[in-house]
Structure 1
Amino acid sequence: MADPPGQGDALSVLVVDDHEVLGRGLALLLRTEGFEIAGVAQGLDHATVLLARRPPPRLAIVDLDLEMASGFELITTAHAAGTRVLIYSDGIGLRLVDAARAAGADGLASKACRLGELVEALRTVGAGQCFVDPRFRGSDDADPPQRLTAREREVVMLVAAGLTGEEIAGRLFLSPDTVRTHIRNAMRRLQARTRAQLVALAAQAHEIELPRDARRG
């Protein structure tokens, strides 16, 4: 009887994380668990190059908080290469789960998980199944996410374009403190924990349209 995918054969995994030390550390841990590491990428451009290799990796574990763009942007490229995607995030809540599923992610794991749990998630996704970390289930607040104001959408669009707070302040003729307040309020409304999540969730909710420059890491 043949072994299920990911049991008899070493699963090849591409690690995508914008923090080099964390990405390489994760790759080292996964290698000790029997995974074949297809590479460690720090951004979307590098990940796209590694996905183009033949044969492509079976799996990609993608940090949702990639610098300048959401990990969601990589999912379509990965699927086109025949690679399944496990999103790896410290965000919580059903809204994030919905956004990941809508973007086509094959699984969602929490950065708070133990190594054994992450291994289980990767093997589950590698076997062609979906995986959602229990930490992401039923943890949203009772109040649904709110719509952004017009000014908040304007600020978030500029965050997505890669502008700093100071640059946004200059562009919109606002003080840096006011810009920070708009970002903080937008994060609260969309239940985002980081600016990268804010951009991803705002785009997923059709609050903003990602500029082309924000889609490349």
Structure 2
Amino acid sequence: MGGKKTWKDNLLSSSVPMEFEVSKLLVKHGFSTSADYSYTRHGAQARDDFSVDLEASIYLPFRRPNEITTELHLLVECKHRHRNNKWLFFPDPNPGGFSPFTLGRTPRVVDDFAPVMLDDRHSVAFDNKSIFCIKGVEIDLNNGSVYDAEIRKGLSQLQYALPRLVTEAIEWNLGCHPEECYPFLYCPVLLTTSEIFVAKADTTIESVERAETLPDLATPAPWVVVYCEQTQDFQ
């Protein structure tokens, strides 16, 4: 009886209550949101339809409709996990010149289709405060299992939804009068209820073997930026 899931457990694990709560929070801060942002992914043999949980957009500056300079688009994929599930990410070990990350690309600025150029110093400043990671895994402290399927799936869903988002934003600008064309920013977000940890830079096989608890080899982080490789199909 103790291990049986209740309807509440199953409802929470569906992430729908989380999506609703996140959507309300975004609306509270001025965003317009929509659920199940769909896209089509073409495979070798067929095409499949998928979706990202939430799409949100807002004109900037916040709450100043008479001074619009740009538009921000967010794609948010929600992952509700149980309280003893932790997400552990491993930092990028490459020195700056060899890192796959480019500063200013997390909130990505696109101003090629508007009559003005947008200064990217704010997006660069955001990245300067971020922790860049190359891979993440889930650790279930209840049963000791370690896996990365949900993280990889979430990142892939966001990646494959981006072409539709960017294309529609470009087409909107191309169909507008010049005074109605704004540069835009977009940012995909994989959101989780799990506590996020980042492995210490000196983590080794030996240090993992010696660790008694997760904080012995990792430190909590509010968010991380994760690199997602472009597959041949995506390109």
Name the TM tier (shorter chain). Answer: under 0.3
- Structure scoring higher RCO (CA < 8 A, sep ≥ 6) equals 2
Which structure carries more helix by proportion?
A: 1
TM score, norm. by length of structure 2: 0.22
- Larger-Rg structure: 2
TM score, norm. by length of structure 1: 0.23
Which structure carries more strand by proportion?
A: 2
